[in-house]
Amino acid sequence: MSTNPTTITAPAGLPFIEVTRDFDATPAQLFRVATDPDLVTQWLGPRNLEAEVVEYDVRPGGRYRYIHRDADGTEYAFRGVFHTVEQDALVIQTFEWEGAPGEVCLERASYTKTDTGVRLHTQTVFPSVASRDAAVESGMEYGIRDSYDRLAELIGKEQS
Amino acid sequence: MSIDNGQLDRGFAALGDPVRRALIARLSRGEATVNELAEPFDITKQAISRHLQVLETAGLITRSRDGQRRPCRLNPAALEALTSWIDDYRLTAERQFRRIDAILETVKEQDS
């Protein structure tokens, strides 16, 4: 299993983020993993903890909501609506972190067959540059906290 | 770890220009004077100076006085702050993608 590179573009002064990633699978297989609620549960969420998927109804007009719990029990809930769903090809949805109500993003995810597999390309439009930056920085906080967690684990191992 | 938002904004705005990114790329290979920096470009030295001013205001480069020379130098710490801003977002995204990779392996086994 290879690890394909992830390309992230967050242009200065514009409320966009674009992410491109190839997967060694067919568009149908990736689409299934990205839309089947039972499979979504296994990867969705910002950290190495599984998210509780309350609903994930991938069809035009369908809703989704999932809750992520930190190790200390803090809950982060996310929700949105699926606007466009083209089987194995395209999903357009809204995205909102309930901790920042009204800061709703529009996300477009396309699945394109390549010579070696499938390319996932997601474009997110944020309501403002500030909210885009806040979203990126929250990811950063997670990253830092993850590092501390890993460090704590290592220290624990050293001590036992 | 605290991030100075104003500095981040200035940093990203400073890097939002291809000439300034090229200047940063050149300075990542070592210090250089305005004349040396201007050489590969088809724009005036004044324009290059203005770009350098933006980079300096954003804290991405520093200018020292070395007799008659005023070489520009990168400020690696400031660049690091900018790259770490996106890198942790990247880490989070990549972690999810690797989980998807693993699930896809299972899905592919079931399909075959």
Residue A153 predicted with pLDDT over 70: no
Q: Please give the Cα distance from B110 to A40 (Å, whole number).
A: 17
pLDDT at residue number B49: 93
* CB-based contacts of B106, cutoff 8 Å, min separation 6: none
Dihedral over Cα of A52, A54, A60, A61: its sign: negative
Residue A1 predicted with pLDDT over 70: no
Beta bridge partners of B39: none
Cβ of A121 under 8 Å from any chain B Cβ? no
**pLDDT, chain B, mean:** 83
Contacts of B96 in chain A (CB under 8 A): 43-46
Mean pLDDT confidence for A14-20: 89
Query: pLDDT tens-digit profile of A27-54?
Result: 999 999 999 999 888 888 766 566 789 9
Residue of A8, A23, A136 with shortest CB distance to B100: A23
In whole angstroms, how far apart are CA B82 and each of A125, A153, B26, B53, B64? 21, 28, 18, 18, 23
Mean pLDDT confidence for B79-96: 74
Mean pLDDT confidence for B76-81: 74
Mean pLDDT confidence for B14-29: 84
Q: Where are the alpha helices (DSSP H) in B17-112?
A: 18-27, 34-38, 45-57, 76-111
The structure tokens listed for B36 are 């040396």
| Minimum mean pLDDT range among A6-10, A95-99, B45-49 | A6-10
Q: What kind of fold does domain A6-45+83-159 have according to CATH?
A: Alpha-D-Glucose-1,6-Bisphosphate; Chain A, domain 4 (3.30.530)
Q: Report residue B85's pLDDT band, with 50, 70 and 90 as the boundaries.
A: low
**Class of the CATH domain delimited by B5-111:** mainly alpha
Domain ranges for chain A = 6-45+83-159
The full DSSP string for A126-148 is -SSHHHHHHHHHHHHHHHHHHHH
Angle between helices B5-14 and A129-159 (to 10 degrees): 110
Beta pairing class for A118-125 and B61-63: unpaired
On whether the CB atoms of residues A81 and A63 are closer than 8 A, the answer is yes
Tell me the pTM. 0.64
Query: pLDDT tens-digit profile of A112-125?
Result: 999 999 999 999 99
CB contact under 8 A, A11 and B16: yes
Residue B4 predicted with pLDDT over 70: no
Mean pLDDT confidence for B71-95: 77
End-to-end CA distance of chain A: 33
